[in-house]
Amino acid sequence: MTGNIHPAVLVIDDEDQIRRAVRLTLESAEFRVSEAPTAAAGLAAIAAAERPDGVILDLGLPDMDGIAVLRRIRQWSQIPVLVLTVRKSEEDIIGALDAGADDYLTKPFGGRELVARLRAVLRRAQPVSESALVAFGDVEMDRSARVVRRAGAEVKLTGKEYGLLLLLAQNRGRIITHREILRSLWGPQAEENTHYLRVQMTHLRKKLEAEPHKPRYLVTAEGIGYRLLDA
């Protein structure tokens, strides 16, 4: 992020009407918008000296699949990418997140949600404090001491519970897919064992959420993964 008051956003989409609608929506919210109708044009714009602060990427491009574009970007850049897609299957969404998307929005979409999602991914890309403390609700996590407290009282977590919370805290606000969590905590051989994860998340919510069955912070992206919310 450049820290600009009016962030620059690149819209990569081959549909003129979609680009126009996104441009009008974002400009009304005081973003500066540029457009690219192909993957090649978009990649060139991201690599330019005056690169954008964030990217809105359609997955159905004429010259390269959007997942391939994401993988190409992530080889050399951590620029925030919000995916727009008509693909609504869990596998497509998981594929985009695993390839490096920061968030996704399915078409058709509302203008207010688009702006909110974009602001969120740009905000997460800003330099953050190196403080060891992570707080949400009445929970405080001290990463330096590997201690978690709720309402001032220490909460005993198992190694896997702590590892899950740490992964979510390090990617706060971002959906972390089941596969990504399982790879990180159990290794690549466990990528399909989602029941491991459900058990750990259930335990973690019981220890940290006021209403474990209606979690406010440790939330589910149905069929895809989990994320830690601020509010």
Rounded Cα gap, residues 1 and 10, in angstroms: 13
Which has the higher per-residue pLDDT, 132 or 203?
203
Contact between 77 and 69 (Cβ < 8 Å):
no
Q: Is residue 207 classed exposed, middle or buried when 0-12, 13-18 and 19+ CB atoms within 10 A define those classes?
A: middle
Q: Give the pLDDT mean for 53-66.
A: 93
pLDDT recorded at residue 203? 96
pLDDT recorded at residue 5? 73
Rounded Cα gap, residues 207 and 7, in angstroms: 39
Rounded Cα gap, residues 141 and 131, in angstroms: 11
CATH superfamily entry for domain 8-125? Response regulator (3.40.50.2300)
Rounded Cα gap, residues 165 and 167, in angstroms: 6
State yes or no: pLDDT of 1 exceeds 80: no
Nearest by Cα to 80 from 180, 170, 4, 10: 10
Work out the pLDDT band at 85, boundaries 50, 70, 90.
confident
Q: Sketch the domain layout of the chain as residue ranges.
A: 8-125, 133-228
| Architecture label for domain 133-228 | Orthogonal Bundle (1.10)
| 12 beta partners | 36, 57
